[in-house]
Amino acid sequence: MYNLLSLLIGILISIMIAFNGKLSNGVGSYTSLLIIHAIGFFAILILLYCKKIKISFRNNIPLYFYIAGAISVFTVMFNNLSYSALGVSLPVALGLLGQLITSLAFDHCGFLGMPKVSFNKKKFIGLLFIIIGISIMAFN
């Protein structure tokens, strides 16, 4: 089931980049960021209300974990800016490459207290194929 959800994430990200890029072209990068995140904020409020979920903040979570919200703003902004020049597929491909390299580093080093998962030959070969494929897409 989680594999299917991960596939759905990829589909939604592609749709999101196309929609957000068109919105950004129409109203500007910063206005579109505000609209996108305001609508997302209200959507989650409605979801929380419908599911009767209460928001709770825990004191034992380091403050720097809350920076994820700022990271999402920059992620959307960078996608919006690159959409006009690159379309949808290349920002998605390059974004996935960045995610893959970062996640491999997190796994290998155990950043943020995560369990260590060693980088091995199979992962290197997979990464190499992905880099070759994205290079073919980017530099044709």
Contact 35, 94 (CB under 8 A): no
Residue 27 lies in a domain: yes
Q: Report if residue 125 sits inside a domain.
A: yes
pLDDT tens figures, 71-94: 999 999 999 999 989 999 999 999
**Using an 8 Å Cβ cutoff, are 96 and 88 in contact?**
no
Question: How many domains does the chain fold into?
Answer: 1
Domain assignment present for 72: yes
The radius of gyration computed from the CA coordinates of the chain, to the nearest angstrom, equals: 18
> Is residue 6 domain-resident?
no
- In tens, the pLDDT along 50-70 reads 999 988 877 788 888 889 999
Residues 6+ apart with CB under 8 A from 21: 79, 80, 83, 84, 88
pTM here is: 0.81
User: Which residues constitute the domain of residue 39?
Assistant: 11-138
Tell me the two tokens of residue 102: 């970062």
Instruction: Please check whether residue 4 lies inside any domain of the structure.
Output: no
Q: Is 1 a member of any domain?
A: no
